[in-house]
Amino acid sequence: METGLRRLSVIAAAYLAAQVAGPASAQQDTTVLDDIVSPGLERREIREADIDSENFEVTAFLGGIMNVEDFGSNAVYGGALAYHISEDFFMEAGYGQTELGESSFERLSGAAPLLTDEERELSYYNLSLAWNLFPGEYFAFDDWALNGGFYLVGGIGNTSFADEDHFTYNIGAGIRVLPTDWLSLRLDVRDHIFEHELFGEAQVTNNLSAQLGLSVYF
């Protein structure tokens, strides 16, 4: 017991001594060493450039049309926010809304409408990844060379109408023309693919939309 305690106190004392002596002796070493092996070099300081990045792009649809299978085509309103990961890829969150028309069943049978006006309001949101392909210049007449490119896009999202949510895949393509560095005009075509059971049995529908957008980079 007593030897144990003594050993403990010796260890503690040795540890304390090492703590006190340690840095001091180390400091002495460096001053001695400095005279012998001092590198006659000045360390290069590298400064980071103070520069603003412009990787986000916000898009407003100037005009668009969306066809919902069996329910006709109507104007689509919406927008998107994109983040440019590299010159090849960007990701984009999009939102849009449109209205459903009358289905051919409703028109031909003359029966009571399938959906109320409120249920005919369709909205969708999605998150997509796009791949910039074929970047280059587009030429308009002799004097104009506009930067632009083509992209392929695909993603997942949700479409909601008739009080139901529908998990939606989207694929599409678009072209982008940039009159200036921070402004672009985009024509984008998407297929929104989802399954619904409005007509009794489940059916997978392809719903095409085309929209012209104006985007600003920031």
Q: From 4-12, 22-30, 50-58, 66-74, give the range in contact with other proteins by CB under 8 A.
A: 50-58
Q: Is 130 in the site for other proteins (CB under 8 A)?
A: no
Structure tokens at 184: 């672009």
How many Å apart are CA 14 and CA 5, to the nearest integer?
Answer: 14
Q: Among 57, 86, 72, 69, which residue's Cα sits nearest to residue 188? A: 57
Are the CB atoms for 78 and 48 separated by under 8 Å?
Answer: no
Q: Smallest distance, Å, CB 81 to other proteins?
A: 12
CB under 8 A: which stretch of 4-12, 17-25, 44-52, 99-107 binds other proteins? Answer: 44-52
Tell me how far apart the alpha carbons of residues 187 and 137 are, in angstroms, rounded to a whole number.
16
Considering the rule CB under 8 A, would residue 29 count as an interface residue with other proteins?
no
Question: What is the nearest approach in angstroms of other proteins to the Cβ of residue 67?
Answer: 22
From candidates 3, 19, 31, 86, binder to other proteins by CB under 8 A: 86
CB of 217 to other proteins, least distance (A): 7
Q: Collapsing DSSP states into helix, strand and coil, what is residue 2?
A: helix
Query: Can residue 117 be called a binding residue for other proteins (CB under 8 A)?
Result: no
Torsion, Cα of 10, 12, 18, 21 (10° steps): -90
| Touching other proteins, residues 53-82 (CB under 8 A) | 53-55
Other CB atoms within 10 Å distance of the CB of residue 212: 14
Q: Is 52 in the site for other proteins (CB under 8 A)?
A: yes
- Contacts with other proteins by CB under 8 A: the residue count is 46
* Site membership for other proteins, residue 156 (CB under 8 A): yes
Listed ranges 3-11, 33-41, 103-111, 159-167: which one lies at the site for other proteins (CB under 8 A)? 159-167
Lookup: tokens for 146: 């506009």
Task: Give the whole-angstrom CA distance, residue 73 versus residue 64.
Answer: 10
Q: Is 180 in the site for other proteins (CB under 8 A)?
A: yes
Among residues 152, 173, 189, 186, the alpha carbon closest in space to that of 67 is found at: 189
Q: Which residues bind other proteins (CB under 8 A)?
A: 44-55, 83-87, 127, 132, 134-137, 140-141, 143-147, 149, 156-158, 164-167, 178-181, 183, 197-198, 217
